Structure 1
Amino acid sequence: MATPMQPGIVLAHKRVGRTSFAVVREFLTAARAFRDRKTPAICHGGVLDPFAEGLLLVLVGAATRLFDYLHDVPKVYEAVVRWGIETDNGDPTGRIVSRGDASSLTPERLAGVLAGFVGWQDQTPPATSNKRIGSERAYEKARRGETVTLPPTRVYLHEAAWIEHRLPEQSHLRIVARGGYYVRSLARDLGRTLGCFAHLAQLRRLSIGPWHDPGPDGAKLIMGRDLLPWLPARMLDDSEVGALRRG
């Protein structure tokens, strides 16, 4: 793990079964080991569901102020859609709520339906999403057995393409989406549109903007001018630095 005492963005890999918050806690624990230093603020740069794996951005110190700048950055995912079964949370850990017949699916039909989801859409998040309802997260209410109804949100899908099919069981998908997009909802809505139901069986986040998943044994710290490289930037001279420090 990169030293969490250094301010910046750490490219970390989240394994299947772990929560994003567990990864953040790991960094906090490491930071608190330095008893002679103040523990920096640490947060993630966008949650990844427990059943999913891949790139998780961990923001450390002053870099936590960059959170809002990361929302609109394109994110690349690969996913496996399981046909014929819809679950209450849209992933394989959920309770089965609907079954359907996927025997009539063809690659051509799937390509046509998927194309209709590219661009701006109104998307209803899963009941177990990270969205807030008052002072609580939706998933907290759902896990207590409460009925959760979330309003649709405006989302954007840049690109979507099927990689391979093993019909009628499942299909492998690659998408590029803006922040706030739920791939679980895409799988659910594809199944409903096709009339056979579906859920997301696997999900991996490959990249966020210019940054790629370092893999299970890797982590990389991004600092300085490498932060937010898609935004305009210029070097400051000494007088400008002094003026900036004085406010």
Structure 2
Amino acid sequence: MNAVLLVDKPAGISSAEVVRRVKSRVKPARVGHLGTLDPFATGLLPIMIGEATKLAPFIDAGDKEYAGLIRLGVETDTLDRDGAEVHRAEVPAISADQLAMVAAQFTGAIEQIPPVYSAIKRAGVPLYRLARRGDDVAPPDKRSVEIKRLDLICEAPDAIRFVATCSPGTYARSLARDIGVALGTVAHLDALRRTRNGAFSIGEAMPLSDILESLDSGAPPLRVINLRDALVGLPEVVVDTAAEKRLRNGDSRALDSQVPNVGALFKVISNSGELIAVARATSRVTAIVERIFNP
């Protein structure tokens, strides 16, 4: 199977565990995922199988959309509900106007300090591993992210419901912490669900249990995205059999005079409709092949 599966991840397991469970059913095919979800989080997790694992550099740059719940008054070491309490503070009364002001404050380009419990590496070791073994871990450096949409609704005196659309690399746990500070208290992320990852949406996803049951039965899952369709938005160039053979032998000149806009990535498609390669136009008439996909 060379395809993308859109998994609706349940709470309580890691993204790596989802990969392990799928891989055990499709081996020896390679399996990977796009955009890690924390174990407590649910929602959209694209799983790449076989040749689809080569797609990651070309489709993992889209915005993410999340819905979740921020719990006020308690901060944890992981900034989510699974962590140990490290601070507690009173929660002031919060008005709708205050929430609107805070939402505006965090909309647009902002700077964010990622959580200590994150996959960011220091000296080649993920910070969460250092933190879990008891090392004194300094917070990561600030990074620039963009929040394109942020809606905040007061659900309870100590709970804020939110919907956010943000750039890749944004940490929802850090956003929850910072919103708590802006509201005059502390906070952690109590629930999180990813509803969009680039061009993929949760409406296209299937529960993990359904996908595993389908794979166990030997039948392909009902919703499978092929390589060509996974690269949403890229222009296409169709080549004949002779040009396909040249490309597979490493001859990028087979694309001469067929390229779209200079600098643009594009899909190279066979006469039968299969994805052969992703290429980049280097001039009006020449291109280089970024990745070849085996049939």
TM-score (normalizing by structure 1): 0.89
Tell me the equivalent position of 1:51. Answer: 40
* Partner-residue secondary structure (3-state), 1:221: coil
Query: 1: CA distance between counterparts of 2:107 and 2:184?
Result: 19
Letter in 2 for 1:125: P
On the 8 A contact 2:52/2:227 being kept in 1, the answer is: no
Is the counterpart of residue 245 in structure 1 residue 243 in structure 2?
A: no
Tell me the equivalent position of 2:230. Answer: 227
For residues 102-143 of structure 1, give each alpha carbon's deviation from its aligned partner in whole angstroms, at most 9, with x where no partner exists.
232112101111211122222111111111112211111111
Query: 2: CA distance between counterparts of 1:70 and 1:51?
Result: 25
Q: Which runs of 5+ in 1 are unaligned?
A: 1-5, 33-38
On the 8 A contact 2:31/2:47 being kept in 1, the answer is: yes
Pairing partner for 2:148 from 127, 134, 158: 158
* Partner-residue secondary structure (3-state), 2:91: coil
**The 10-residue stretch of structure 1 (40-49 or 235-244) with the greater mean CA deviation from structure 2:** 235-244
CA 1:171–1:140: 2 relative to 1, 3 Å: same
Deviation at 1:227, TM superposition (A): 1.4
For residues 70-117 of structure 1, give each alpha carbon's deviation from its aligned partner in whole angstroms, at most 9, with x where no partner exists.
332011110101111111111011111222222321121011112111
Pairing partner for 1:80 from 69, 84, 87: 69
Letter in 2 for 1:166: E
Which structure has more RCO (C-alpha within 8 Å, separation ≥ 6)? Answer: 1
Tell me the equivalent position of 2:133. Answer: 144
Deviation at 1:206, TM superposition (A): 0.9
Letter in 1 for 2:142: P
Pairing partner for 2:24 from 19, 23, 29: 29
Query: 2: CA distance between counterparts of 1:52 and 1:28?
Result: 21
On the 8 A contact 2:33/2:45 being kept in 1, the answer is: yes
Is the counterpart of residue 20 in structure 1 residue 15 in structure 2?
A: yes
For residues 136-155 of structure 1, give each alpha carbon's deviation from its aligned partner in whole angstroms, at most 9, with x where no partner exists.
11111111121222111222
Letter in 1 for 2:51: A
Deviation at 1:218, TM superposition (A): 4.7
CA 1:8–1:240: 2 relative to 1, 3 Å: same
* Partner-residue secondary structure (3-state), 1:222: coil
Pairing partner for 2:80 from 59, 74, 91: 91
> How many pairs does the alignment contain?
235
CA 1:211–1:71: 2 relative to 1, 3 Å: closer
Query: 1: CA distance between counterparts of 2:137 and 2:98?
Result: 32
RMSD of aligned alpha carbons? 1.6
Deviation at 1:209, TM superposition (A): 2.3
Tell me the equivalent position of 2:197. Answer: 208
Query: 1: CA distance between counterparts of 2:210 and 2:65?
Result: 19
Is the counterpart of residue 189 in structure 1 residue 178 in structure 2?
A: yes
Query: 2: CA distance between counterparts of 1:218 and 1:240?
Result: 41
* Partner-residue secondary structure (3-state), 2:44: strand
On the 8 A contact 2:61/2:198 being kept in 1, the answer is: no
Deviation at 1:47, TM superposition (A): 0.6
Deviation at 1:243, TM superposition (A): 2.3
Larger Rg: 2
Query: 2: CA distance between counterparts of 1:121 and 1:62?
Result: 36
* Partner-residue secondary structure (3-state), 2:53: helix
On the 8 A contact 1:83/1:170 being kept in 2, the answer is: yes
Tell me the equivalent position of 2:52. Answer: 63
Tell me the equivalent position of 2:283. Answer: none
Q: Which runs of 5+ in 2 are unaligned?
A: 212-222, 251-295
